[in-house]
């Protein structure tokens, strides 16, 4: 499996990354290298091994929290890093569908 330059540009666009042409070539080579590793991994015999959903071992359970309000009420902290603040709102360039 190999990625063409158009796919690299598309993936970059979806990730909101602006690439120079020279970078496309470089990333194409790097990504193809990664895909090569994955192909290699797929040769491992996983017969009888339970699939994992993430990096955690299968026996790790999802912890549950009780339905109680324990957080929030901190608008100042939430807004503290906002590049643009309008009252208690975040200000962003106008987005209208």
Partner 1 sequence: MTYTIEGETGPWEVVIGLEVHAQVTSHAKLFSGAATAFGAEPNSQVSFVDAGFPGMLPVINEACIAQAVRTGLGLNAEIHLWSRFDRKNYFYADLPQGYQISQYAHPIVGKGEVEVTLADGSTKIIGVTRLHLEQDAGKSLHDQHPTKSFIDLNRSGVALMEIVSEPDMRSPEEAGAYLAKLRQIMRYLGTCDGNMDEGSMRADVNVSVRKAGEGFRTRCEVKNVNSIRFVMQAVEAEARRQIEVWESGGTVEQETRLFDTARGVTRSMRSKEDAHDYRYFPDPDLPPLVLEQSWVEQLKASLPELPDQRRARYVAMGLSPYDAHVLTIERETATFFETVAKGRDAKVAANWVTGDFFAALNRLKRDISDPPVTAQHLGELLDLLADKTLSGALAKQVFEAMIETGQAPSVIVEERGLRQVTDTGAIEAAVDAIMAANADKVAEYRGGKEKLFGFFVGQTMKAMAGKGNPALVNEVLKAKLG
How far is residue 56's CA from residue 67's CA, in Å, rounded to a whole number? 25
Contact stretch for partner 1 (CB under 8 A) within 20-28, 29-37, 39-47, 79-87:
79-87
- Binding positions for partner 1, 26-65, rule CB under 8 A: 53-56, 60-65
Residue with token string 């987005």: 95
Nearer to partner 1, 22 or 49 (CB): 49
Complex with partner 1: residue 44 or 62, whichever CB lies closer? 62
Distance CA 71, CA 34 (A): 40
Beta carbon of residue 2, minimum distance to partner 1 (angstroms, whole number): 19
Give the Cα separation of 50 and 58 in Å (integer). Answer: 8
Say whether residue 78 binds partner 1 (CB under 8 A). yes
Minimum distance between the CB of residue 85 and partner 1, rounded to whole angstroms?
Answer: 10
Give the torsion sign (CA, 83, 88, 91, 97): positive
Contact at 8 Å (CB) between 85 and 78? no
CA distance 9 to 15: 10
User: If binding means CB under 8 A, how many residues of this protein chain bind partner 1?
Assistant: 40
> Binding residues for partner 1, per CB under 8 A?
10, 13-14, 16, 53-56, 60-75, 77-79, 84, 86-97
């Amino acid at each position: 499996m190999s990625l063409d330059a158009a796919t690299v540009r598309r993936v970059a666009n979806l990730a909101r990354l602006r690439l120079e042409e020279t970078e496309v070539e470089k990333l194409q080579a790097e990504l193809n290298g990664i895909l090569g590793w994955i192909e290699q991994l797929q040769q491992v015999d996983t017969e009888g091994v339970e699939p994992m959903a993430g990096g955690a071992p299968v026996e790790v359970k999802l912890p549950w929290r009780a339905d109680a309000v324990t957080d929030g009420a901190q608008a100042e902290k939430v807004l503290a890093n906002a590049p643009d603040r309008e009252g208690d709102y975040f200000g962003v360039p106008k987005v209208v569908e």
